[in-house]
Each structure stands twice: as C-alpha cells, then as structure tokens.
Amino acid sequence: MEIITSLRNGKLTEIILIIIVFMSLFFVFKNEKIQDPVWFVPYLSGAENLSNDGVWRYSEEELHEIRNSDDKNIICDYEFKKYPKEKLSVNKYNAIGYLYIVKLASVLFGCLPMVKAVQAFQVFLHLLMSFIIYFLFKNRNSKLLFLGLYLFNPIIIYISSFPFYYFYQVVPTFFIILLYKKRMPLYIIYFAFAVIGFMLNVRMTMLFAAILASVLLFKNYKFKFSFFAIFIMVFSFCITRSSQTATSRWHTTYVGIGAYSNEYLSKLSDESGVELYELKTNKKIVPALQRSKEYIGEYNNICKKEYFRILRERPFLIFKNSVLNILQSYSIGHLANRGIFVNLLSAILGLFIILWLLFKRKYWLVISIGLLSATFTPYFPPIQQYMFGSYLLIVVAIIDSFKFKDL
C-alpha cells in the first residue's frame, strides 16, 4: 500500500506534521456530545458482558444509573462491569455489529475507559484511512485539497470524534475508492469484503455501498476471483448477524417530514413520534425504553398511517422534501433545525456539485454518491451523522474532477 511505500521513502516527517496539525484541530473541533445512554449503554455494557453464545446481554442497572445521574459526563469514565447472565437483559432490537467494534476497541485501548477507547479507535481508523487515500495523490495540489476538504475539515473532525456507529459508514466508502482507482492489492480484497459484509450488521444503510463495491469488483477483476470475494462478504454478514425481533422503521419515515417546517411537523425531532403515539393512544411513554414487540408494532402502525395520510393530503410536500434531501446528500448534508435558508444553500451547493461532476463526465461518481445515502434520503434528511460515509467520496470526486492526473 502507498502509505507503507511512503514510510520507506522517508516521508515519516510529513506524516508526523500532518498528525500534529490534525490533533491540534481535533482538540478545537471535536464533538463533546455523547449519544443518549439509552442507545449507547447497551453496546458498552454488552461488550463487557459478551459471551461465546453471541447473545447480546447488557445491564439495565447500569443503564438506569447512568441515565439518572446528575453528572451528564458520567458515561465517559464509567467502568462497566461483568455480571452473571441471569442479571442481564437481552437486546434484540438493534443490529449487533457495533457491539463487536466496541469490544475490539476496549481490547486495543484497554488502558482507557470504554467510551474513550471507542473514540480513540475511531480516530486511529480515521487517520489510517485518510493517510492511505492521501498518499494515493502524487500532485501537491491534490494533497492540499484533500487535507483542507477532508482531514483538516472541522465538519469531518466533529463527526469522526462522535463515538457511535455513524462513523463506520466511511469504511465501505474507503474500499470503494480503492477499488475505483484499482489500488487495492488482491490479497487485501478478501479482507475488505469480509469487513464490508460485517459492516452491514453495524448499519444496514450501507447496503448500497456494498452493492457498489461488488459492481466495481466484477468490473475490475476476474469473475472467479470476484465471485469468491462476494461469497466471503455474504458469509461474513451471515455469521455476524443477529435476529432483530422488531424495528421502528416508520418512526424515521414519519419524523423526517419535519426536516423542513410545515403545518404537520414544525421541526425534525424524535419527540414528534412520541407526541403522535401519545395523542393516538392516550399513553405516556419513554419510547427508547419500550422494548416489547407489541409496543413496537403498535408504534410503527401509528407512524405509518400518519405518514400515508400526509402523503395523500400533501404529495408535493413529500416530493419537495425528497428532492431537497437528495441534493443535500451531495453537499455538506442537512443541518437539523437550522432553518430552511441554511439547508436550501446546502441543497444548491449539492446541485452545483452534481452539475460540475456531470460536466466533467464523472457519471459513475454522481450515481455512487447518490446511492450511498439512497436508503434514507427519499424520506429522511441526510443529517451529517447519517451521511458520513459520503463525504470521503464527495471529496475524492471533487479532486478527481480537476484532472490533476495523479490518482
């Protein structure tokens, strides 16, 4: 790989300087927020209590302790404990893949509390992937553009420092770029597709990224070799998969209507779904703690019916939202509750990028960037966490469009 060659060619000083600048910016722009304990603690506690049977068990006691604490940062330094199985709850409501990543991070950075270990692992991967792409560029202008638009970009730093599974959407994109540029050695491809298969169990919205990688593989490599790599991807997905009894897919569809204030929803918020459920059922709920299959089914049904009611009454509203969502997925994404003007500018920038890439005949890149977010943009805005996997490809596409002929 280019980064290894660069080390051999005496570019260690360049790497060290870039890391120093990055870390300086990191401590200025890093995300100080932590994911809501309701969603994060089951992964953290689950990693500590991971057993050979592959069942996801976590401590409700630790969840309630952290969630009810007056110290909002208690989770950052919390030492999660191992409990007997009978004292643990089973989670069947989220994809299990990220649990294994948390466990790996806690092993590799065992000297740190679990949340900080997860964050350190993300930063390590971010730097590793960024340097590999950086050293693909041979022209100084391309390298400087990459540093400015991606590695030193405050938006990228902010998102990549947020310890949760959103970050890992960039992993399939990284492999897509290497495949697109035919810079992935044959012995790495099997590993790459095993990782991509696993990543589908982290976040299924990476499905189109997996499909794009597969298309590129068949396009650039021999059929038998490609077929075996796809088999590895499918096998990796199957052996790391867990059964989810229910998901709240219609929740996202319904609340996404509030991305642009309207007479139905004034803002983008999970609370919109909660308010709708309480209005329709006269029940008070804390939705993230309601784990029964019956509740999920009832909640989904209510959100689904309301969404289709709005679709029938205002189809143009849904269409307009979808168009804005798709355009923003080519830009900096959607800035939640920042007003229509800011997000309209993001959509206009996205349209400009699309037209520029089409003008430069980068048709495949236009299609690929859109597909990376296509699993949700028809109904939900591309908030920056959701579309983190797209940024790397957008930046490489922009640099590639200037035809420095160095990739």
For the segment 23-44, what is each residue's pLDDT rounded down to a tens digit? 999 999 998 888 888 889 999 9
Q: Is residue 1 part of a domain?
A: no
Q: What does the pLDDT look like over 105-116, one tens digit per residue?
A: 999 998 999 999
pLDDT at position 241 is 83
Q: For residue 125, is pLDDT > 50?
A: yes
| 69, amino acid identity | S
Report how far residue 3's alpha carbon sits from residue 134's, in angstroms, rounded to the nearest whole number.
Answer: 8
Phi first, then psi: what are they for 58, rounded to 5°? -145, 165
Q: Is residue 293 part of a domain?
A: yes
Percent of the chain with pLDDT over 70: 93
pLDDT at position 383 is 93
Among the ranges 52-61, 112-121, 216-225, 336-345, which has the highest mean pLDDT value?
112-121
Q: Is residue 256 part of a domain?
A: yes
Structural domain span for residue 254: 249-401
Contact between 63 and 37 (Cβ < 8 Å): yes
Report how far residue 67's alpha carbon sits from residue 169's, in angstroms, rounded to the nearest whole number.
Answer: 27
Q: How confident is the model at residue 339 (pLDDT cuts 50, 70, 90)?
A: confident
Phi first, then psi: what are they for 73, rounded to 5°? -105, 10
Of the candidate ranges 9-13, 69-73, 278-282, 399-403, the one whose mean pLDDT is the lowest:
9-13
pLDDT at position 297 is 81
Report how far residue 59's alpha carbon sits from residue 45's, in angstroms, rounded to the nearest whole number.
Answer: 6
Q: For residue 343, is pLDDT > 50?
A: yes
pLDDT at position 236 is 95
pLDDT at position 1 is 54
Overall average pLDDT of the 314-340 stretch: 93
In three-state secondary structure terms, 90 is strand
For the chain, the C-alpha Rg in angstroms (whole number) is 22
Q: Is residue 314 part of a domain?
A: yes
Of the candidate ranges 13-27, 39-53, 231-245, 366-380, the one whose mean pLDDT is the lowest:
231-245
pLDDT at position 39 is 86
Q: For residue 406, is pLDDT > 80?
A: no
Q: Is residue 299 part of a domain?
A: yes
The count of structural domains within the chain is 1
Helix, strand counts (H, E) of the chain: 19, 2
Q: Is residue 195 part of a domain?
A: no
pLDDT at position 8 is 54
pLDDT at position 167 is 95
Report how far residue 88's alpha carbon sits from residue 45's, in angstroms, rounded to the nearest whole number.
Answer: 10
Q: How confident is the model at residue 407 (pLDDT cuts 50, 70, 90)?
A: very low
Report how far residue 393's alpha carbon sits from residue 154's, in angstroms, rounded to the nearest whole number.
Answer: 17
Q: For residue 181, is pLDDT > 90?
A: no
Q: How confident is the model at residue 244 (pLDDT cuts 50, 70, 90)?
A: low
Report how far residue 325's alpha carbon sits from residue 305's, in angstroms, rounded to the nearest whole number.
Answer: 22
pLDDT at position 246 is 57
Tell me the whole-structure pTM to 2 decimals.
0.90
Cross-strand partners of 58: 89
Report how far residue 58's alpha carbon sits from residue 36's, in angstroms, rounded to the nearest whole number.
Answer: 16
In three-state secondary structure terms, 39 is helix
Overall average pLDDT of the 347-362 stretch: 96
Overall average pLDDT of the 347-372 stretch: 95
Report how far residue 123's alpha carbon sits from residue 131's, in angstroms, rounded to the nearest whole number.
Answer: 12
Give the HSE-up count for residue 130: Cα atoms under 13 Å, Cβ half-sphere: 26
Q: Which long-range contacts (CB under 8 A, 24 or more apart) does 57-62 make?
A: 57/85, 57/88, 57/89, 57/90, 57/91, 58/88, 58/89, 58/91, 59/83, 59/87, 59/88, 59/89, 60/88, 60/89, 61/87
Q: For residue 132, is pLDDT > 90?
A: yes
Q: What does the pLDDT look like over 42-86, one tens digit per residue?
A: 999 999 999 888 789 999 999 999 988 888 889 999 999 999 988
More confident of the two residues 404 and 156: 156
Q: Is residue 81 part of a domain?
A: no
pLDDT at position 194 is 96
Average model confidence (pLDDT) across the chain:
89
Q: Is residue 356 part of a domain?
A: yes
pLDDT at position 52 is 80
